[in-house]
Structure 1
Amino acid sequence: MVNVVAYIRVSTTGQGESGLGKDAQREYIERAAQANGWTIVGEFEDVVSGKLALEDRPEGKKALAACKEHDAKLLVAKLDRLSRSVLHIAQLMEQVDFKVATMPQANTFQLHLFAALAQQEREFIAQRTKDALAALQRRADAGDEVAVKKVQNRTQALEKGRAVADITAANNVRMEKVTAFQNTVKPHVEACLYNKLSTLQAVADCLNTKGIRTKRGSMWNPTAVRRLILALGLPFPKAA
């Protein structure tokens, strides 16, 4: 019996540059395990860039530890879910045996070769794209109206993408702060509920008496308490 630890990765910019979202990766992995008689003994998911080595990713590090603990192989949907770097792939081969769901019979040499070919193709594509953009810019500089329009459209698209990324990052920071605040207040809410207070107003009064304030520094009211209880997944006062 072969034990495997499933590892799933999506990029920070969406569902992964390969187009494989979490559900699709999981389906590939489960099919490969079933077809080859492998037993999945753990599953780990990362939302990180593929530029990081597996051992430098939060869940990747745990996946490697699980492989050692269960004497298991690491299983991914596609090779690029591990890394797009030949160097990272080669270093990983020294740490753990791994399998790729889309080519389950591939041996170490073949996987290394596929990684090298994939990296070379990416480099070719990057250079062709760079050359094409340089040629487009030269035509635009020469007054070609079509080229000028394309350059403008590309610039606008890049600016829009950066703006969306900035908004997303800001929202993530805001949500982290909200979650941290809620977790800080949670024990106090639980203490108020433990005293069998029967209304949202009673809970609000309890928090206010304790000197606890909302994230904005305001006094608690029933509406704010209701939102907090919902967010924390706590039971409502029976009479609420």
Structure 2
Amino acid sequence: MKYIAYMRVSTQNQSLGLDAQSEAIKRFIQHDDTILATYVEKDSGKNNNRVELTKAIEYAKKQDATLLIAKLDRLSRNLHFITSLMESKVPFKCCDMPFMDNFTISIIAAVAEREVEMVKERTTAALRVIKTNIDTNGFHISKKGNRITKLGQSEFKKEYWAKGQQAIQVRVASNPNLMKAKAFALSLKASGNFNGVQITALLNENGFKTSTGKDYHHTQTMRLLKG
């Protein structure tokens, strides 16, 4: 297979990070594989204007090659950016997640998108309850015990929605460990060969941990699969 390798570090001085990524790529490559070119980016993961990555993608298109990244979080911690890459039709592989492909990440994107919609639905329902209480009693008592006598209309709604959306992005898109566990579990489910109990066992056998650093249990696995 033909590969275009891409590596990224956040600062100019992270040579050890590049060495580690380079070693990961070498271990991934098989004897009949070929790396046509290697592109190195030295920029923050928060910056989605990746000059070298753009070059790598364009070259991969020309060569009909696969983009190869040592670690998924080296590509980006922004889910929307990763899905944009997927939409470019350039196939890619991650050395630390060999089971990850365009199909798997599309599932993750759909799950994340649905989760954002669920936050929006819960926010709308919560605002409806607050408005009803204010209209009926003249006030609403929040969970923190604050007395609310009026809503800030669009400003309140925008702030509420922005916070919810930001929380989802941080938890799903910026958590590479959760993303890896989700991708692994979803890929097993998509194969049709594993049930929830077996997926839980495989998550633990492969060293995946929950957000609190514990082993997965069946209930947590089900939540992971549902997003």
Compute the TM-score of the two structures, normalised by the length of structure 1.
0.43
Higher relative contact order (CA 8 A, sep 6+): 2
**Which structure has the greater CA radius of gyration?**
1
